[in-house]
Amino acid sequence: MGLLNLFNKSSPSLLRLPAGSFTVDRSGALLAGTLPSSFPSELAREIARNILTSFREAAAAHLPLSELVIHYPSLKISARELRGGAVIFLTPKTSDSPLN
């Protein structure tokens, strides 16, 4: 019986590309945001953790980094440092976008 359950796994659902922004404090806690409620908060925390780590490592290396822009094929993530925290913008790239 357990073998049949192997094939009944539900396929993962696809998420719409988010459009919005959110602000985090220096510990990575979400303060405010304009992301849709369907966007998983766990994913927003993971993005924030990586952004804050990048800003901290740049500061430790004495590199003046106040803005970070990451381009993916269909998503642009830009972040600005805010006294230990960050404001993070998520922008989907569309076919009519000048970034393509």
> 68-81: b or e for each residue (b if 16 or more CB lie within 10 Å)?
beeeeeeeebbbbb
Q: What is the pLDDT of residue 53?
A: 95
State the architecture of 16-92 in CATH terms: 2-Layer Sandwich (3.30)
For range 73-92, the mean pLDDT:
93
| pLDDT (tens digit per residue) in 29-39 | 999 999 998 88
In the chain, what are the domain boundaries?
A: 16-92
Amino acid 80 reads R
Which of helix, strand or coil describes residue 39?
A: coil
Q: What is the pLDDT of residue 84?
A: 85
pLDDT at 97 over 80: no
Q: How far apart are CA 67 and CA 91, in angstroms?
A: 15
Sheet holding 20-24, edge to edge: 30-33, 20-24, 85-92, 75-82, 67-71
